Amino acid sequence: MNAMTRLATAVSLVSLMPLAALAGEVEVLHWWTSGGEKRAADTLQKLVEDKGHTWKDFAVAGGGGEAAMTVLKTRAVSGNPPAAAQIKGPDIQEWGALGLLANLDSVAEQNQWDTLLPKQVAEIMTYEGHYVAVPVNVHRVNWLWINPEVFAKAGATPPTTLDEFFAAADKLKAAGFIPLAHGGQPWQDGTVFEDLALSILGADAFRKAFVDLDEATLTGDQMVEVFAALNKLRGYVDADAAGRDWNIATGLVINGKAGMQLMGDWAKSEWTAAGKVAGKDYQCLAFPGTQGSFAFNIDSLAMFKLGDAENRKAQEDLARTVLEPEFQQFFNQNKGSIPVRLDQDMSSFDACAQKSMADFKEAAGNGGLQPSMAHGMAASSYVQGAVFDVVTNFFNDPQADPKRAAQQLAAAIQAVQ
Ligand code: GAL
């Protein structure tokens, strides 16, 4: 090798050093493990790797995230938390109080997060006024997903009220379809309960029940009506629902075995992954009686304090990437959620995402934005767990009494406060 070649080689190696020197590793804990959700998570991995960093995927299966949170607590207690974890809502305050979360203020200031984000969202991401988490998306929980071909075969009409919902379920059942695709898991039972509660209680009383934890509302006649409706709904779920994962239930509607599913719009990620077109192959409706309300569930990545400078740089690049327009577009188109940036161009999003964004803005203007109780936005994970226990026990007991269940609900919540 002659002198010039040696010099050129040396220069090129040195020029790589600064990039290599700033390349770190981020380990990210999440539970986006269904086919559709993995496609979404992969978009983040690719963008982080494009910045020269190493992505260590810490995916913990189990819809709703209970398993993931158990694993995270074990890692944190052993003094070895991941760089980032899918932590949402009030739980961010609990982790912040432990002093384990990294300060993201510099990234937030450099990238104008205060301007980009809805104020209500920005507040959820801060602990004692400092950013410690970055919001990834805005999911809506109060959706009803319909297979129009199945509805047509059964002569059923897409419902706008609870009475019409049960009438459609009767027609689907009479025609031999599974009326409501469901997975018998506490968080899914809790999601169905939440939709019925929002429909029957209405926005204000829903907030009084699950944000204020008001005993009179939790034990009132309307809450008894919610449990009575849940009792009725049980009759439209098939016998094999126990333990079924949410995305398997979504598959029953996609494949025409079931007529509808009550689920947040992560269900859309499965329709998208199956190549189905919103508004054509499936319909997305506000759950009957909850029109004008938007039960929000914001996925966020909380960042843990790291010792290593290169990994801290990688962690800050991860936080920066999540709020960039490119990620917000590709992740949310695959995840079924809508972007969390107020200025995001929505023109390339499908009909259901357009409807979700329009409903989000309408609800933001009329007090209809509701933090989802079933998805950890309304109250602590302890309150959420107490609700799930009462609701799941009720849902699995055909003899259960709605009035007694409402009293048990209030007592269980009181016991964990
Ligand atoms: C929610 C989470 C969503 C989705 C869903 C099903 O709690 O926010 O992103 O993963 O669980 O697992």
Q: 266 CB under 6 A from ligand 1?
A: yes
The partner residues of 126 in beta bridges, in order of sequence, read 131
DSSP reduced 3-state for 324: coil
96 within a domain of the structure (yes/no): yes
C-alpha 241 – ligand 1 centre gap (Å): 19
Same domain, 131 and 276: no
pLDDT of residue 19: 46
Q: 63 CB under 6 A from ligand 1?
A: yes
Q: 64 CB under 6 A from ligand 1?
A: yes
135 contact partners, CB below 8 Å, separation of at least 6: 117, 121, 124, 125, 298, 299, 300, 322, 323, 340
State the pTM of this model.
0.93
C-alpha 276 – ligand 1 centre gap (Å): 21
5 within a domain of the structure (yes/no): no
**pLDDT, mean of residues 91-110:** 97
User: Number of structural domains, the chain?
Assistant: 2
Closest CA to ligand 1's atom 10 = 32
325, 346, 366 — which closes off a domain? Answer: 366
Q: What is the per-residue burial (b if ≥16 Cβ within 10 Å, else e) of 100-139?
A: ebbebeebbeebebeebbbeebbebbbbeeebbbbbbbbb
pLDDT of residue 364: 85
Same domain, 290 and 307: no
6 within a domain of the structure (yes/no): no
Same domain, 181 and 58: no
4 within a domain of the structure (yes/no): no
DSSP reduced 3-state for 377: coil
197 contact partners, CB below 8 Å, separation of at least 6: 206, 209, 210, 223, 226, 373
- Digit-coded pLDDT (tens) for 238-253: 999 999 999 999 999 9
pLDDT of residue 18: 45
Same domain, 105 and 162: no
pLDDT of residue 105: 98
Ligand 1 pocket check: which of 38, 140, 299, 340 to mutate, most ligand atoms within 8 Å of Cβ?
299
Mean pLDDT estimate for the chain: 95
Residue 9: which pLDDT band, with cuts at 50, 70 and 90? low
Tokens coding 285: 């409706």
8 A C-beta contact, residue 57 and residue 45: yes
Q: 297 CB under 6 A from ligand 1?
A: yes
For residue 103, what is the DSSP state?
P
- Digit-coded pLDDT (tens) for 120-178: 899 999 999 999 999 999 999 999 999 999 999 999 999 999 999 999 999 999 999 99
Tokens coding 350: 């499908």
Same domain, 321 and 264: no
**pLDDT, mean of residues 324-339:** 97
331, 347, 366 — which closes off a domain? Answer: 366
Same domain, 246 and 106: no
384 within a domain of the structure (yes/no): yes
Same domain, 31 and 126: yes
Rounded distance between C-alpha atoms, residue 344 and residue 346, angstroms: 6
139-140 and 294-297: which strand pairing? antiparallel
The partner residues of 27 in beta bridges, in order of sequence, read 56
Same domain, 261 and 207: yes
41's enclosing H/E stretch is helix 35-50
Same domain, 151 and 212: yes
- Provide the domain limits for residue 323: 14-139+297-366
Same domain, 83 and 32: yes
Q: 299 CB under 6 A from ligand 1?
A: yes
pLDDT of residue 368: 86
C-alpha 328 – ligand 1 centre gap (Å): 17
Q: What is the per-residue burial (b if ≥16 Cβ within 10 Å, else e) of 346-382?
A: eeebbebbebbbebbeebbeeebbbbbbbbbbbbbbe
398 within a domain of the structure (yes/no): yes
The one-letter code for the residue type at 414 is: Q
Rounded distance between C-alpha atoms, residue 144 and residue 250, angstroms: 11
Label residue 12 exposed, middle or buried (CB < 10 Å: 0-12, 13-18, 19+): exposed
Rounded distance between C-alpha atoms, residue 340 and residue 304, angstroms: 22
CATH number reported for the structural domain that contains residue 279 in this entry: 3.40.190.10
pLDDT of residue 302: 98
C-alpha 246 – ligand 1 centre gap (Å): 10
Q: Which of 50, 83, 111 is nearest to 343 (CA)?
A: 111
**pLDDT, mean of residues 59-85:** 96
Same domain, 148 and 119: no
Q: Is 90 exceeded by the pLDDT of residue 22?
A: no
User: In ligand 1, which atom is closest to the CA atom of 298?
Assistant: 8
2 within a domain of the structure (yes/no): no
Q: 24 CB under 6 A from ligand 1?
A: no
Closest CA to ligand 1's atom 9 = 299
Same domain, 187 and 242: yes
Tokens coding 209: 């029940």
Residue 5: which pLDDT band, with cuts at 50, 70 and 90? low
8 A C-beta contact, residue 41 and residue 305: no
9 within a domain of the structure (yes/no): no
Closest CA to ligand 1's atom 12 = 63
Tokens coding 48: 């982080």
- Digit-coded pLDDT (tens) for 337-396: 999 998 999 999 999 999 999 999 889 888 889 999 999 999 999 999 999 999 999 999
pLDDT > 90: percent of the chain: 91
